[in-house]
Amino acid sequence: MQKSRVKKYTVLHKRQQGTMDQTMKKIINISLGSSEQDYEFKTNFLDQDFTVKRIGTNGNKTEAWEQLQRLQSKCDAMGVGMVTDDLHVGEYKFESPETQKLTRVVTRVPVTTGARVRRLLQCSAIRHTQKELGHYFNNNKVLFLSGMANYEMAMLMSEYTPNLKFADSVIQSGLPTFLKSISALELYARGRYNLNKVSPIDTEKRHIPSLPKVKKHLVGKAMKDSHVVVGKCSDLRKYGNLENLADKTVITSFVTDEDFEFFKEVKVNLAIDVSPSVFDQMVGVSVLEAMILAASDIPADELACADIEDIIKELDIKPRLLHPTGEFRNIKRFAFVIHPLSQEYIRNVTPIPKRFAHTQLMNAVEKAIAHAPPMIYSEVKGIKSPCGAEAEGWLITVGGTPKEMLSHSPEFTYKRLLAASKMAEKLGAQILGLGAFTKVVGDAGVTVAKRSSLPITTGNSYSASGALWAAADAMKRLKLVKAEEGKRIPAKSMVIGATGSIGSVSARLLAMAFDEVYLAGRNEKTLTKLKNSILEDTPDANVFITTNPDDQLGDMDVVVTSTSGAGKKILDIMKVKPGCVITDVARPLDLPANEVAKRPDVLVIESGEIEVPGKLDMRSIQLPDNVVFACMAETIVLALEGRFEVFTIGRNTEWEKVKEIYRLGIKHGMKLAAISGVNGAYTDADIDKVRELALEARKTWKSS
């Protein structure tokens, strides 16, 4: 690495003086902190030998002033610790009269509070943590106990999340409201600045009477609602407790053993100490900056922040990432959009008595709910990958059934999905998944992804993977087709809706595994194009196209339906071969319960059910415990992996992404759930019954 200007200046300065001797530099740090933490040690820093001494005055400012005045002749630079820095907020600068009084008494040597090093280390700590822990601060809810004292850090944090909150107005001014943006903080600073010109005030103290208990309650409540809390250790201990700091990340400086024990007691998940561990003895930033000033031989007013930043990079100074509980929980957050699939779903979650659930009333309710704003249906907790990552989130419901969504323009649904995205952003979600029919409407998530501030995925990549995963397992359990390891399955398969997003990928998977695959759709030209594309990837596949799937249904062993017919009849189930496995990927389902009931000798499964790792805690979505739809599982997998990106959108699901999400799912402990149909999960007895009926029906079955 190129040497900093500081080192070059130092060497040149000494050569001009005709000497290169290594004289011992002495640093004295006068702190308002406790004298019990005093120390004295020797070290080498920036190719200079140093002795460093700390003298604590236990909060006695008069004693600190006297020590600074008396000892300045006995050292090369001085640090002043545990005092208020001069603050820079936007275009406004605030000077602390008490700090100015202490520093101005030192006239013979450089003196510093460490403000410049502190600001640089704060920003460096944020960047380091964000990279080291994988997009750690993305859309976190961050509370600054003093935004004015941490303005540069807040500006950097705003690059990762818009969810910032500042307690300056509550703690300093006794007001009952928080500042919720950088612009609000700057406006507040402007007011403080104008007030300060009329009558100088201490920026650390409140000047409007307030009730201490009320203030503590407000700050504590804000802490509990946040993911990250930024503040001095003294303030964290003043306002924090087990209820509002458990599982939180705190960003602070100079964490003592006593502070660490407090963080351990209140179960803080991660404590980021921006004060680095450069020496065996922990020192504050005022000491570090004083040592830089002494080593550089550059006048303090000429030493630029860029020079100090060069030194920090050259020394590879990193923050301390402390885990008070002994186990770091890397929790990622997601949101997933659901909606009622029919009037029956609405009746299940609303207090409408069955005797009033007649068609006319339910039609009116269905229309009204479609216009309702998004709501939180459930919190989701308890997901834990075997890799150690954790995920939690929210199910957000929009009210429209597929029937209502289709009766309006796509923009009607887009608006509600974007409102759900904004709600998810405020909750702190880092990625948003679209479920059921919301991923079908319009351009299948493309417009929503462009307009949303959160990354979007439809989950179609994992839905395609889950569909074939379930079909393969079902065939294995039915034992009607004998397959040899490493060879194609001697059976025929069909994809209805083959040119669609999930259908095209399902077709590619089937072409790799089955003797024959039929592509069914309405447009022969697009079917031919898909066939040719499949043959490029799998030249030895037997691929056929058809615009009349009913003609071949009687010969199929596996059928995948992947349409957006929204209630239209897709196939004649009476023409299906006994023992056929039908995997219904469509949402809403292509085969309703009354159709499935006609063929007890056929196994109709709803693809997409995935068992998640951990112990899932959420409101029922009418699936077995610990089981979610594949599209939701994709959102969870991306969250666990820290892949906060637009993954699957549009109608052309990418084959590479299907393979990738399957691999990531296996990595994070995702498993195929119990095979489920329209009436719930199939038991072994249920599958044995289908097999028994199929074998009996095949004795007289004739394909059409």
Average pLDDT of the segment spanning 477-484 = 88
Query: Taking Cα atoms as reference points, which of 500, 341, 338 lies closest to residue 417?
Result: 338
pLDDT > 60? residue 465: yes
Which tens digits make up the pLDDT trace of 582-600? Answer: 998 776 677 888 899 999 9
Residue 476, token pair as written in the block: 């294995």
Q: Which residue has the higher pLDDT, 703 or 330?
A: 330
CA distance 391 to 384: 7
Is 312 a residue whose pLDDT tops 90? no
| Pairwise pLDDT comparison (609 vs 665), residue with the higher score | 665
Q: Using one digit for the tens of pLDDT, what is the confidence trace for 692-701?
A: 999 999 999 8
CA 191 vs CA 93, 207, 208, 219, 323: distances in Å: 12, 13, 14, 22, 39
* DSSP three-state, residue 354: helix
Calculate mean pLDDT across residues 404-418: 92
- Direct distance between the N- and C-terminal alpha carbons of the chain, in angstroms, rounded to an integer: 77
- pLDDT, residue 13, reads 41
pLDDT of residue 272: 97
Q: What is the pTM of this model?
A: 0.83
Tell me whether strands 40-45 and 87-89 are parallel, antiparallel or unpaired. Answer: unpaired
CA distances from 346 to 296, 350, 351, 595 (A): 72, 6, 9, 22
311 alpha carbon, distance to own chain's centre: 33
Highest mean pLDDT among 52-66, 434-448, 460-474: 52-66
Q: What's residue 11's pLDDT?
A: 41
Burial class (CB in 10 A: 0-12, 13-18, 19+), 309: middle
Nearest to 115, CA basis, from 87, 78, 147 = 87
According to the per-residue pLDDT averaged within each range, which of 408-412, 619-623, 637-641 is highest?
Answer: 637-641
Q: Given this model, what pLDDT does residue 15 score?
A: 36
- What pLDDT was estimated at residue 41? 95
d(CA 550, CA 11): 87
Picking from 34-48, 55-69, 558-572, 686-700, which range would have the lowest pLDDT averaged per residue? 558-572
Dihedral angle of Cα 642, 141, 151, 159, to the nearest 10 degrees:
40
Strand partners for 31: 56, 81
Each domain of the chain, given as residue ranges in start order, spans 5-114
Q: Does pLDDT of 402 surpass 90?
A: no
How confident is the model at residue 14, as a pLDDT? 43
Residue with tokens 């998944």: 433
More confident: 48 or 563: 48
Torsion of CA 661, 662, 666, 671, to 10 degrees: 120
150-164: average pLDDT? 96
3 state DSSP class of 215 = helix
**Residues in CB range of 147: below 8 A, 6 or more apart:** 89, 154, 164, 166, 167, 168, 179, 185
CA dihedral 279, 284, 290, 292 (to 10 degrees): 50
Q: What tokens does 271 get?
A: 């404590």
The CA-atom distances, in angstroms, between 329 and each of 104, 324, 513, 585, 633 are 46, 11, 41, 35, 20
Residue 503: per-residue pLDDT: 86
Of residues 133 and 363, more confidently modeled: 133
Cross-strand partners of 252: 273
Q: Please tell me the least confidently modeled range out of 43-52, 226-235, 497-506.
A: 497-506
How far is the C-alpha of 581 from the C-alpha of 677, rounded, in Å? 11
Q: What is the mean pLDDT of the chain?
A: 88
Give the pLDDT score at 90.
85
The pLDDT assigned to 315 comes to 83
Q: What per-residue confidence (pLDDT) applies to 677? A: 81
Q: What is the pLDDT of residues 617-626, one digit of tens each?
A: 999 888 888 9
Is the pLDDT reported for residue 271 higher than 60?
yes
Token digits of residue 392 = 């939690």
Which range (241-250, 658-667, 672-681) has the least confidence?
672-681
The structure tokens listed for 375 are 């709501």
- Is residue 258 over pLDDT 50? yes
Q: Answer whether the bond into residue 588 is a cis peptide, omega within 30°.
A: yes
User: In this structure, are residues 248 and 266 in contact, taking their beta carbons and an 8 Å threshold?
Assistant: no
Q: Is the pLDDT of residue 207 over 80?
A: no
Answer yes or no: are the C-beta atoms of 456 and 649 closer than 8 Å: yes
DSSP state at residue 621: -
The pLDDT of residue 195: 75
Query: Whole-angstrom Cα distance, residue 30 to residue 26?
Result: 13
Q: How far apart are CA 82 and CA 275, in angstroms?
A: 13
Q: What is the mean pLDDT of residues 16-35?
A: 76
pLDDT bucket at 505, cuts 50 / 70 / 90: confident
Contact 505, 655 (CB under 8 A): yes
Tokens of 670: 């995702």
> Which pLDDT band holds residue 68 (cuts at 50, 70, 90)?
very high
Q: Rounded distance, CA 419 to CA 373, Å?
A: 8
Say whether 154 sits in a helix, a strand or coil. Answer: helix
CA distances from 685 to 61, 385, 441, 689 (A): 82, 32, 38, 6
Residue 142 has pLDDT above 50, yes or no: yes
Could you tell me which residues are beta bridge partners of residue 518? Answer: 494, 544
Q: Residue 567 pLDDT > 60, yes or no? A: no
pLDDT bin (cut points 50, 70, 90) of residue 344 is confident
Per-residue pLDDT at 91 = 85
